Structure 1
Amino acid sequence: FPRGFEDFLASPAVRTAQKVQASIIVCLSRTGTTSRLIAKYRPDAPILSVCYAEEADPASVARRSLVSRGIIPVIQPPEWGQGNAIVPQEVMRNAILYARDTLKIVKPGDAVVGVHRLLGEAILKVVVCPEGNAF
C-alpha cells in the first residue's frame, strides 16, 4: 500500500502503465526517489529516469538508480531544456524521442506514461509516442 506522497504517485503510475499497456514509464527526477518507488511496484514497462541538475549531482542520482530493477537512468542533456530553466514538457518530449530514436525501446504509436513532480505539483499523464518530432 502507498505510504507517502511519492508512493501516491508511484502506485497509480504503475497501474496506469499496466492498463494502457505502456511501452515505457518516463520519470523526471531530481533525487531519483520517485523512479525508485515506481520500480518498487515492479511494472512490466521499463522506467526511463531522467535525472537533472538542481541541488543534487545528476551523475550520483543516476548511479544510485542502477541498483533498482527496471530503471534506465539518463542524465538530462542541456539541450533538452530551455536554457537553465527546467520545462517539464520539453524534457518529457525529448526523453520520449530519445527512448524511440536512441534506445529503441518505444515505437511510434506506443503508449507512454509520464510522471514528474518538478514544479511542486504531481503530474501523471499518458501520451502516444509520435512518428515525427512533433507532439
Structure 2
Amino acid sequence: MSRGSGNPLGSESTTPTASKQRLHRSASREDRKPSWKGWIRLVKPDPGDSFGIGLSKGLSSRGIYVSAIRPGSVADTSGLLQIYDRILKVNELSTRGRTCREVVAMIRRSSPVLDLFVHRRR
C-alpha cells in the first residue's frame, strides 16, 4: 500500500459506481439464458372443450404471451405449454401485428387440433 495516497487499495483508484457497474454487467451475462423455439400441438378430446390458455400482450416487449393455463385443461395436462411462452404462430398463421383478441379468435377456430409455434426463454 502506498503511503499518503488516502486509498487503502494502493495507487489504483476505484469508485463504488465503477465497481457496481462491473458487477452488474457480469451478473447480467450470467443470467442470460438460451431460448427455445418450437411447435407445440394440443388436441382436445371433445371439440366443445377449451384449450385452457389465457393470453396477454407483452408489457415491455411486443407480442402475445401465455399468461395463464387453467388447471386440468388440455394445455395443463399436456405439460408442453408454459406461462410466459410467446405465441409466434397459430396453425401456420403469424401473430405478428395482431391483437390479443385476434389471436384468441384464431385459437378458438382451431378445433380440435391446435398447433402453436412458441418462443420460450429458459
TM category (shorter chain) comes to under 0.3
The structure number with the bigger radius of gyration is: 2
Greater relative contact order (Cα < 8 A, sep 6+): 2
TM-score of the two chains, using structure 2 as the length reference: 0.27
